[in-house]
Amino acid sequence: MFFGASLSWNDILFMLSGAVTTIAITLASVAIGTSLGVLFGLARAGSPWWISWPIGGILDIFRSIPLLIQLVLFNSFNSMFRLHWPTYLVACLCLGIYAAAFCTEIVRSGVTAVPTTTRRAARSLGLTWFQEVVSITLPMATRIVFPSWIGLALGVMKDTALVLWIGIVELLRSSQIVTTRVQEPLLVLSIAGLIYFLMSFPIARLGAQLEKRWRIQ
Residue 184: helix, strand or coil by DSSP?
A: coil
pLDDT on residue 148:
92
Give pairs for 84-91: CB < 8 Å, separation 24+. Answer: 87/163, 87/166, 87/167, 87/168, 88/25, 88/168, 90/166, 91/25, 91/29, 91/160, 91/163, 91/166, 91/168
Interatomic CA distance for residues 217 and 205, integer angstroms: 19
Phi-psi region of 66 (alpha: psi -120 to 50; beta: other; left: phi over 0): beta
Query: Which tens digits make up the pLDDT trace of 6-35?
Result: 788 899 999 999 999 999 999 999 999 999
pLDDT on residue 208:
84
128: pLDDT confidence band, cut at 50, 70 and 90? confident
Query: Which tens digits make up the pLDDT trace of 58-102?
Result: 999 999 999 999 999 999 999 999 889 999 999 999 999 999 999
Interatomic CA distance for residues 68 and 161, integer angstroms: 10
Interatomic CA distance for residues 174 and 18, integer angstroms: 6
Alpha carbon 195 to chain centroid distance? 18
- CB contact at 8 A, 179 and 3: no
104: pLDDT confidence band, cut at 50, 70 and 90? very high
- Percent of the chain past pLDDT 70, that is, above it, reads 96
181: pLDDT confidence band, cut at 50, 70 and 90? confident
pLDDT on residue 168:
94
Give pairs for 9-14: CB < 8 Å, separation 24+. Answer: 11/178, 11/181, 11/182, 11/188, 12/191, 14/174, 14/177, 14/178
CATH topology for the 9-216 domain? MetI-like fold (1.10.3720)
CA neighbours within 13 Å on the CB side: how many for 202? Answer: 6
146: pLDDT confidence band, cut at 50, 70 and 90? very high
Q: Where are the domains of the chain?
A: 9-216
Of 156, 121, 120, 113, the C-alpha closest to 138 is 113
Residue 133: helix, strand or coil by DSSP?
A: helix
pLDDT on residue 1:
55
